[in-house]
Chains A and B, each alone.
Chain A
């Protein structure tokens, strides 16, 4: 009955294998500080930069011993941060705002990593959908967690499609039960293609085309974490950025690292798919005219926050300077020699 895993209760101390040697050495040193990251989802190329930063020793160079936990539905980042099991987490901007509002969790964005929204709406051209206006009267499946942008799009075009809740698979769309479905560009979209659909047969709505760009993955920690040791946060962010840059420069090596994570986690995926994902991560993290890594503009922030507030997902909009501190900018104190 259980179509997705409920069974993973173990924390996977990813990176320990690699770091166990250096950890023993560096532990003795006073300026080596531990840090734990929990990504918002299971191991995949979406988090390639962090795995690469661990394996290629970028965190170590920044004086950190980083453990990347296995993320996923069973590892809600809010709880892990709150319980102190993790110091840092990645999550969508919307999710962070919601958690801050609904759970009262003092999440702080210390680096905005993904600039461009990867969420999209996909439809078959054969269903007659060419523009969002064509969605009127159609059946659309949406992920409840990522319904803000599609709903804003529907409002924008004044359409009221029939909405179904989209589960963990794309089978509703594949088997023709819905006319349109949500998909992540780096993930489900590729799965559609590699279930035999042709790109030219599909209509794709990217939200940034409709002025609904929501920056996605950012690095978060709790406000006290930042306050206590902002230097550690900077080191973590900057080492992570170095990991990403390396991953983009050496995609096949990065894929090797990702695939090791994937294999350990026994994820039903493959290298081809992960390659696609890594390439798309580069597209959404470094789109043309992108801001430097870590940057979140106040305008983007306010657009997302106001949209959430308007639809009642959040009650208040956190103050800009309380919510965001770009740890990619300032040089960490006690910077280790490179």
Chain B
């Protein structure tokens, strides 16, 4: 997995590339914590290029989201599609996040 980080005020955009499985969770959480500690509160998770997400990946996103919420921030997901979207739906995660078709749309709502 690869994570591309970009800052587009007022949010930090994290784009996930490739498989998001158990092995990738540590890196994902580290990056989030880093920005959270740096004072960032608004995040957009661009999952357009995510090819696969495991339950560990889902839980990682969920745990991160919970942390952000505790600090009065928010996180939205954009460009989720295909199999990954199905996984979100099956696992019930779809109910917990706000989804936007594009990055631009997501940024407006952050």
**A–B interface present (Cβ within 8 A):** no
Interface residues of B (CB under 8 A from A): none
